[in-house]
Amino acid sequence: MILDNLTTAQVRFHLNGDRDRIDLLALSADDCEEEQISSYRQDGNPHRMSSFHAYRRPVRPRLIQATLYGWSAPTTSLGLVVGALTLVSGGSMRLREGTLEFHGGFTNWLLEQTPIQASAMTLGHVILGLNGQVLDLLRPHEQVHVRQAEIWGPFFLPAYGLASLWALGIGKHYYLDNWFERDARARSQLPWDTSLDSLNRQSRT
């Protein structure tokens, strides 16, 4: 996916206050350095965001990686259930960077039910997205969540929920100010994640 086509992937976020909803479109070429745009087009690989030096999970020894798969298995199992429902409802699956990615079918319905109408979601080593382009666009961000799931294991989803409650408790946004989301935006090194943080700060001034 080259940058000319990124506007087909909408990442939707809800904000409190006057701006009830922001439709954050991928940055246009004018918003990025010309040299980066050129190198991305020459690369031509939609599964690598190398022109932005985007986050990619480190390659680990097999024994360590197998341990991490096992530690995060409870969360991944939920993702596999969603994945199975996605496949029987006409969706698709692919393998990318050590994770299974699903889109279409039941996955799309599930994402639309989330409070922020999410474009993608990570459940352990399963990543759910609205379509293939969205998954390509957001993979570095979602791979940070995979890393988080590998660290927190079976406590990832409870910890994520508590982080949202904590943000609400101190008067902030349950999604944008969730520690796990802030960490993913900071580590992904994607320009649109940086822009989202800027929009979030501006909405509070």
Q: pLDDT tens, 125-169?
A: 999 999 999 999 899 999 999 999 999 999 999 999 999 999 999
- At residue 148, the pLDDT reads 97
Residues 181 and 163: their CA atoms lie apart, in Å, by 10
Q: Which of 22-26, 124-128, 160-164, 189-193 has the lowest mean pLDDT?
A: 22-26
The whole-number average pLDDT for the span 46-52 is 40
Is the pTM higher than 0.85?
Answer: no
pLDDT band at 30 (very low <50, low <70, confident <90, very high): very low
Residues 140 and 185: their CA atoms lie apart, in Å, by 9
- Could you tell me the CA-to-CA distances from 72 to 33, 119, 188 in Å, in that order? 38, 22, 21
Residues 193 and 187: their CA atoms lie apart, in Å, by 9
- At residue 40, the pLDDT reads 36
Instruction: Specify the number of domains making up the chain.
Output: 1
The whole-number average pLDDT for the span 33-43 is 35
> Residue 145 is part of which domain span?
3-203
